Amino acid sequence: MLNDILLLNKKHENAAQTIFEKVMEERKGKYIITISGEVETGKCEVAHMLGRLMKNEGIKVKLLHMDNYYKIPPLQRTEWRKSHGIDSVGFEEYEWHLIYRNIIDFRSGEKSVFPCVDLFTDQIDHFVLKDNSTDINGAALTFKWTLSCDTIPLFNANSASAYFDVPILKDSQQLTIKHVVSNGSVSDSVIRNITIPASTVERQYGLGIKANSERSNNANYNWYFDQMNTGPNSSVNCGPTSVTMAIKWVQGDFTRTPSDARNVYLPLGGWWYTNNITDYLNINSVPNYFIPIKQIDSIQSQINSGNIVILCVDMFYIRNQENDKWHIDKFYISSGIGWGHFIVVKGYKIVDKRVYYEVYDPYCFGVEYADGSLKGKDRYYRSMDLNAAVLNWWAYAIVVSKTAVKSNIRRVKPGDIIHKSGQ
């Protein structure tokens, strides 16, 4: 289920590792793993971490969340259950024909369409149109679905189950759906009207419906750098690249590059450490200080004060993207726990009461969206993911300011910090 909240910790990691070892011992080909349990016992978290472990071994994995197979969408389910009574709760709430079809397709090597419910928007990736008609004499039926809007492609229009993708719209739009079923002798038809919701930036980015609040400390000039082509150490130049971005944000006329930064510290290669970041900020006269992090949302006060922060995180805990058109989650593969990495956080959005942080991630290597913009620029990482990525690697932030640091700021002495590295 998209945007479901995962709170990953050591017990989930240990459980996933135990299952992983058993699977690797038994697996000889296609393999189905089922994880069951009571509500909020960590099923999704274990499945998520198990999937990561298997992907790191080059195994193709697809997680099927049973919540996606309910007949009634999540935000309507409670009221539906209340109106239909306790007998409506249980086994029959699931679309079992879809579950069986997905399993059969997997076993036979066929392509398959999976339902995917989005908890933020209460929308499904595409509208599914279904007809369960049968002929009392057993005659074969033909089906025809049509939409009132010719610009919305309709798939499988001549089958019992058709669907169309949710389009991007400036304003909400009424759509008329007509369906005709025939046994060759007689026909029957039905017409339904539905409302397709308007698009927002948040919807297009995959964040949700509408921003409740937001803050972005962007500059009116380009200060993003991709660590690609930053010299022979490009693959581990996230530190030099992140600090160069931060300096460029403070000093618009700064002309040095990430390669120049690399040449100052560890020019022969290796991961930069957090003290290399602050040392380079200091020799370029950029105000900065350390703050401890107990919960990632504490950096919002720094962003609200007009600052940006540099984090050193374990990217293992940032989930992989579900949709390559969206601007959320990690768009590249990070191999296993301990994938230290520097990123710059320059803003946040609270969308449908969920927090996302707006980052410049230097590990882009030229990967672009369809419009040609770089995916590392203005990327959004979820608060719960970033929290785990920080607390499991380096629980501090380097705050970068455009103004002199005030003496009353609560900060950590550099000598009291155990520094960490990133690639």
Query: Digits of tens for pLDDT over the chain (423 positions)?
Result: 444 545 566 788 889 899 999 998 888 888 899 988 877 778 888 888 888 888 888 888 888 888 777 877 665 677 778 878 888 888 788 878 778 878 888 888 876 666 655 444 444 446 778 777 777 777 888 989 999 988 888 888 998 888 887 777 777 788 888 888 888 888 888 888 877 777 778 877 888 877 889 999 999 999 999 999 999 999 999 999 999 999 999 999 999 999 999 999 999 999 999 999 999 999 999 999 999 999 999 999 999 999 999 999 999 999 998 888 889 999 998 888 999 999 999 999 999 889 999 999 999 999 999 889 999 999 999 999 999 999 999 999 999 999 987 655 556 666 667 888 887
Predicted TM-score (pTM) of the model is 0.62
Q: Which CATH number does 211-422 carry? A: 3.90.70.10
Angle at 268 between CA 266 and CA 272, to 5 degrees: 35
Among candidate residues 329, 291, 295, the one with its CA nearest the CA of residue 310:
291
Which pairs with CB-CB distance under 8 Å and at least 24 residues apart come from 66-71?
A: 66/94, 66/99, 67/1, 67/4, 67/117, 68/1, 68/114, 68/115, 68/116, 68/117, 69/94, 69/95, 69/96, 69/98, 69/99, 69/115, 70/94, 70/95, 70/117, 71/95
CA proximity to 238, closest of 344, 167, 322: 344
What Rg, from alpha-carbon coordinates, does the chain have? 25
List the one residue out of 178, 183, 179 whose CA is nearest residue 141.
Answer: 183
Q: What is the C-alpha to C-alpha distance for residues 3 and 206, in angstroms, rounded to an integer?
A: 9
Full strand arrangement of the beta sheet holding 187-196:
142-147, 173-182, 187-196
- The letter for the amino acid at 421 is S
In the chain, domain spans: 122-196, 211-422
Q: 362 exposed, middle or buried (CB, 10 Å; 0-12, 13-18, 19+)?
A: buried
pLDDT at res. 348: 98
Closest CA to 124 of 170, 79, 69: 69
Q: Could you say which of 3.40.50.1000, 1.10.3720.10, 2.60.40.10, 3.40.225.10 is the CATH number of the domain covering 122-196?
A: 2.60.40.10
Q: So what's the pLDDT on residue 83? A: 79
